[in-house]
Amino acid sequence: MQTAQLSLEHVIKQPKGQTEKAPVVFMFHGYGSNEQDLFSFAGELPEEFFVISVKAPYPMQPSGNAWYTIYFDDANGKFSDDEQAIKSRDLIANFIDEAIDAYPIDKKKVSILGFSQGSILSYAVALSYPEKIKNIIALSGYVNKDIIKNGFENNDFEHLDFYCSHGSVDQVIPIEWARKTKPFLDELNIKNTYSEFPVGHGVAPQNFFELKEWLEKRT
């Protein structure tokens, strides 16, 4: 199957032995990376999943891509361009709809997996448009309330399920930011699992095995 011409560049991996619409995992990479990064996980995920790894819309110099600009020299530390992030949130939501139309995937079995900036966007997409998503794997990110749709608290989150993880010595996104995630989701009565691993800004092998097992149970 060729990659469809959709609004965001992406790569795909088809499931094995597919006879009907498949569950799907959308992957959203981190700042300065590309669609091939998380796609290296694709072969290790359950075989029945259709995998779509997406390239962020903003090119960086000399290489890589971003979902939104980060101003590392801001006086208050890292400062994100929330307007760009909101545009990317809605680009992703629209892309999911496009992909459902273009590929043999089940719109009721949509999982999203994001790392770092892609994880922050995954939270925003799921909480803004919960009707589009079933499972969320949020790696090394945090909830930025400023990029979630206004009034999101009133959405129906009953079917959402989050797997969240973070490195306890993450030097890019402080662990304190990530630790706010579980109480935030609990307050909204959203199903969630939160894990920490003794690594920096990355995914430990045991982290990957845990998220894979979590996903397999929710196929």
Query: Domains in the chain and their CATH numbers?
Result: 10-216 (3.40.50.1820)
Q: Name the strands in the sheet holding 22-28, side by side, starting at the edge strand that comes first in the sequence.
A: 10-13, 50-54, 22-28, 105-115, 135-139, 161-167, 191-197
Q: What is the mean pLDDT of residues 88-99?
A: 98
Using DSSP, state whether 203 is helix, strand or coil: coil
How confident is the model over 34-49, as pLDDT tens digits?
999 999 989 999 899 9
How confident is the model over 106-133, as pLDDT tens digits?
999 999 999 999 999 999 999 999 999 9
| Closest of 152, 161, 47, 52 to residue 96, by C-alpha | 52
Please state, rounded to an integer, the average pLDDT across all residues of the chain: 94
